[in-house]
Structure 1
């Protein structure tokens, strides 16, 4: 089987302690051995053993309860319930797989590996088992091995749309387009029988806001909290001196979210608002996390804390508005919002699309990313920012050392096209155009962001297939934010991707004075660059078709006076326009939040809101 290499990886990465462990994973101190404590735990969960209930039914119930507790980060309870299931049916592959997922959430990789290997031993060709192992490998960054497992899964379960989407996403991350055409045909078939799919994985596969909404709703409902556990708030709310806003995320780090929103935290009007940050990420000394902590009136580090405790804390804090900054991205805890932590709940910034979460009332957007005709594809009501939905930091600075083109491996006199998007966003559709541009502009090169060798080799192979030599592609690796901002002005034209535009990377390029050529699509993710360009006053850089996109990029490349004019306009738009006017953005953002509370206190349901 093609997963033999991955099996070797799994086995070779077990720690010494794990290798010597029994086949059935041992349970840590989370599960007490004291009989009295076990009895109390059983009473708590209503799981007193009964000979009247079939074993299978008991196991299903235990696993369902354990999954719910794991999602809520109540790991002691989750492990206890899974131990009970194993006692009833120790050779049940599903139990070992589910236990592995719990250990993954607990970041106990050795124990997770043991569980997944035991599950594979019990059923070597079970597609669900193969899929879970592939997903585990994906989460720990072993993309090639994960792809092998996903391919094997699809041999046994060719209609598994979740595995298909994950596999295609991983292939896109390495610019492997070998199945790109086949994937489009599969998408049409999957839409008829879909059960669940990763919304984020699907973003780069199709520009279809209707499907995105359906997938988001499915994902939101998969771990939804039952109605009886949610809270209700009565209007009008008791009057307070200040409105309390709570921001929830695990990305209060040196991360795109903090690069964008950090300055807004600092500029919130403290005469009107109190800012609470609930950080369920890792406790680090990164500048982004320290900045978040310093800018908050109340900073709560809740990483590893169970959901019910976080929700109880948020309610005790008396939040008026709870803001999710993650959506369907890695590490999210969007199910927190099912409990209803505040009278008004809002989705913002982290995920470019609808969350599908019934209890999230609003999403922050603008008239470009979500025009009225597309509002039907979003479960939330839209809070319309008057300029651009994306917050930006007007205090950002580039590194003091400004590199020369030679430092980056770029030809001194060449026209430099660049793509600093994550490689997963790039498809053959854009790449075909980029290679045509290199042929049509002989003195040009493509400056392509790719941090790994396998990505670079795939890109060079694709270029060769299109008649472009290796010397025409110059690769850029990872750089810290300040260094990246310093190198960006070396580029002449930023070439955007279609289904998932440049977001932070586009605002970075514009800040550096580099024109961005984009093609506007339908879904939120495919309209972000158009919104940024509108805010800078350069709408003519927004195209509607691939043909227009190519023609505009070619015109900029061939007409150096026009290119110089556009660079000057971009710089002027940044200096005088709203995109980097963080004070103005913050006041508009606050005004929208106040309007949501006005509606709530008036006893009105959420509705689309703008400031006009």
Structure 2
């Protein structure tokens, strides 16, 4: 487009970017930079495209150049923070968000991003203040509502958390992942029955799955009984994560004479466990930069026979891939002991302990009960195993589970337990001070010594064991 002015070409590239046509937008920004190498807005947005497509180092270099050219650009600083956050450079990301807010104190998106990052770093009181400020500045901005919901859920304030999630889904009914946050939180609340949960999941599917039914097409997999069956696993957790530890033994036990294993990895920051999993599968696909539509096409092109979802409604799920039915048989397993609500998922793996016979009506999938146990676990490589020998002295009760599951009813039971066993103590996993104070308040009300409860935060696997 040699006759277009730079301003006009930038406008066209920006329109392409906003419509999701990233490759064409990238070409437009690059054409502008050929003409004006120091066009700050094009450098900035080319960096944003690189961020969106998972090219984090390139994104960082581009946005840093833009910031150097336009140090007063609050949006530049905000997006720099997002890149640094993805690169796990948290301190620098905080500084970038703070710099954006110093330039524009009423920048709701930067307030939300800073609050979300501080929450991840266990600075919960500060995080809550920033998220609530983002909501005050822009009450119709959905993301701070859902991030506040996450914070409240993790603190055990389930009623308020669910209300925040519902506000977010009303504001952005098109964002399935925001709606998934609500579904996950409902499982922690004693007021929701299995029938309620199924209905909520079906409502999610009516919004997000039904519009994709037209994308389902006949499968072209050959029916040759002599060929190997192709099984694909989709997960954001092929990394140091509990789900990965359960999967490794399953991958190792696949009969490679009859099964070819594909892993579709949505991991953004691979680690040593990622490398280990790669050695246990036949075909590895790095898909974190693919849209749901493109990932579904990749699965279809690989002629997968059985596609296994390993996230359901947990974080970074790909249920909208499964909604397109890219494989003839689809299964959900491991991360979410519930229904997905997706009619294109045929089966869910479970066992008789999780789902006693007669409970199948609570799921949209057909339940397949494994003959032994749902879990498939092997000892992690952490050196010498810690001693399990009973130590003399008073008993210690412990719960190192997700603090969101510490409901008021659970706290009441623990208080009663310690009343009945007066020499015992309790150790809990609780990341933030507000979490711990909630437990201490329950102890004070019950006239129990606060010294009888202690807390641990996140620990390495070795220290955890």
TM-score, structure 2 normalization: 0.68
After superposition, the Cα gap between the structure-2 partners of 1:309 and 1:343, relative to the gap in structure 1 and judged at 3 Å, is same
Q: Deviations over 1:487-529 (max 9, x none)?
A: xxxxxxxxxxxxxxxxxxxxxxxxxxxxxxxxxxxxxxxxxxx
One of 257, 275, 282 as aligned partner of 1:271: 257
Match of 1:582 in 2: none
Aligned-residue CA RMSD in angstroms? 4.9
Paired residues of 2:220 and 2:303 also in contact (CA < 8 A): no
CA distance in 2, matches of 1:271, 1:354: 32
Paired residues of 1:169 and 1:202 also in contact (CA < 8 A): no
For 1:97-176, list aligned pairs within 5 A. Answer: 106=54, 110-112=77-79, 143-151=124-132, 166-174=147-155
Q: Which moved more, 1:237-246 or 1:225-234?
A: 225-234
Question: Which gives a bigger RCO, structure 1 or 2 (Cα 8 Å, sep 6+)?
Answer: 1
**Cα offset, 1:265, TM superposition:** 0.6
Q: Deviations over 1:452-477 (max 9, x none)?
A: 55543443343223222222013334
CA distance in 1, matches of 2:457, 2:389: 16
Match of 1:232 in 2: 218
After superposition, the Cα gap between the structure-2 partners of 1:80 and 1:152, relative to the gap in structure 1 and judged at 3 Å, is farther
CA distance in 2, matches of 1:432, 1:469: 15
Match of 1:323 in 2: 308
After superposition, the Cα gap between the structure-2 partners of 1:62 and 1:299, relative to the gap in structure 1 and judged at 3 Å, is closer
After superposition, the Cα gap between the structure-2 partners of 1:462 and 1:120, relative to the gap in structure 1 and judged at 3 Å, is farther
**Cα offset, 1:214, TM superposition:** 4.2
**Cα offset, 1:415, TM superposition:** 1.4
Counterpart secondary structure, 2:303: coil
Whether 2:458 is the aligned partner of 1:473: answer: no
Counterpart secondary structure, 2:323: helix
After superposition, the Cα gap between the structure-2 partners of 1:35 and 1:307, relative to the gap in structure 1 and judged at 3 Å, is farther
Whether 2:253 is the aligned partner of 1:300: answer: no
After superposition, the Cα gap between the structure-2 partners of 1:102 and 1:359, relative to the gap in structure 1 and judged at 3 Å, is farther
Whether 2:227 is the aligned partner of 1:241: answer: yes
After superposition, the Cα gap between the structure-2 partners of 1:162 and 1:222, relative to the gap in structure 1 and judged at 3 Å, is farther
Counterpart secondary structure, 1:295: coil
Match of 2:352 in 1: 367
Q: Which moved more, 1:435-444 or 1:163-172?
A: 163-172
Unmatched tracts of structure 1, length 5 or more:
1-33, 50-57, 70-74, 83-98, 407-411, 486-612
Match of 1:354 in 2: 339
CA distance in 1, matches of 2:134, 2:223: 52
Whether 2:171 is the aligned partner of 1:204: answer: no
CA distance in 1, matches of 2:440, 2:213: 53
**Cα offset, 1:442, TM superposition:** 1.2
Q: How many residues align?
A: 405
One of 426, 429, 438 as aligned partner of 2:406: 426
Whether 2:364 is the aligned partner of 1:379: answer: yes
CA distance in 2, matches of 1:421, 1:163: 25
CA distance in 2, matches of 1:120, 1:360: 48
Paired residues of 1:418 and 1:448 also in contact (CA < 8 A): yes
CA distance in 2, matches of 1:140, 1:345: 36
Counterpart secondary structure, 1:205: coil
Match of 1:343 in 2: 328
For 1:17-166, list aligned pairs within 5 A. Answer: 65-66=19-20, 75-76=22-23, 106=54, 110-112=77-79, 143-151=124-132, 166=147
Counterpart secondary structure, 1:304: coil
Counterpart secondary structure, 2:308: strand
CA distance in 2, matches of 1:81, 1:389: 51
Paired residues of 1:398 and 1:483 also in contact (CA < 8 A): no
CA distance in 2, matches of 1:217, 1:132: 31
Counterpart secondary structure, 2:279: helix
Match of 1:442 in 2: 422
Q: Deviations over 1:71-130 (max 9, x none)?
A: xxxx44687999xxxxxxxxxxxxxxxx9999578566955378999999999598x998
After superposition, the Cα gap between the structure-2 partners of 1:121 and 1:327, relative to the gap in structure 1 and judged at 3 Å, is farther
After superposition, the Cα gap between the structure-2 partners of 1:480 and 1:315, relative to the gap in structure 1 and judged at 3 Å, is same
CA distance in 1, matches of 2:259, 2:189: 40
After superposition, the Cα gap between the structure-2 partners of 1:165 and 1:438, relative to the gap in structure 1 and judged at 3 Å, is farther
After superposition, the Cα gap between the structure-2 partners of 1:283 and 1:438, relative to the gap in structure 1 and judged at 3 Å, is closer
**Cα offset, 1:285, TM superposition:** 3.8
Match of 1:538 in 2: none
CA distance in 1, matches of 2:459, 2:400: 11
Q: Deviations over 1:17-67 (max 9, x none)?
A: xxxxxxxxxxxxxxxxx66999xxx9xxxx999xxxxxxxx98x985x43x
Whether 2:394 is the aligned partner of 1:414: answer: yes
Q: Deviations over 1:180-239 (max 9, x none)?
A: 6x649969x99xx89673222333234433443344445554487744443322687344
Counterpart secondary structure, 1:296: coil
**Cα offset, 1:271, TM superposition:** 2.2
After superposition, the Cα gap between the structure-2 partners of 1:215 and 1:79, relative to the gap in structure 1 and judged at 3 Å, is farther
Paired residues of 1:225 and 1:338 also in contact (CA < 8 A): no
**Cα offset, 1:247, TM superposition:** 0.8
Q: Deviations over 1:270-311 (max 9, x none)?
A: 22211111212135341x222211111222233324445443
After superposition, the Cα gap between the structure-2 partners of 1:235 and 1:451, relative to the gap in structure 1 and judged at 3 Å, is closer
CA distance in 2, matches of 1:461, 1:213: 35
Paired residues of 1:451 and 1:476 also in contact (CA < 8 A): yes
CA distance in 2, matches of 1:149, 1:483: 32
Counterpart secondary structure, 2:334: coil
After superposition, the Cα gap between the structure-2 partners of 1:464 and 1:153, relative to the gap in structure 1 and judged at 3 Å, is same
After superposition, the Cα gap between the structure-2 partners of 1:252 and 1:460, relative to the gap in structure 1 and judged at 3 Å, is same
Paired residues of 1:169 and 1:204 also in contact (CA < 8 A): no
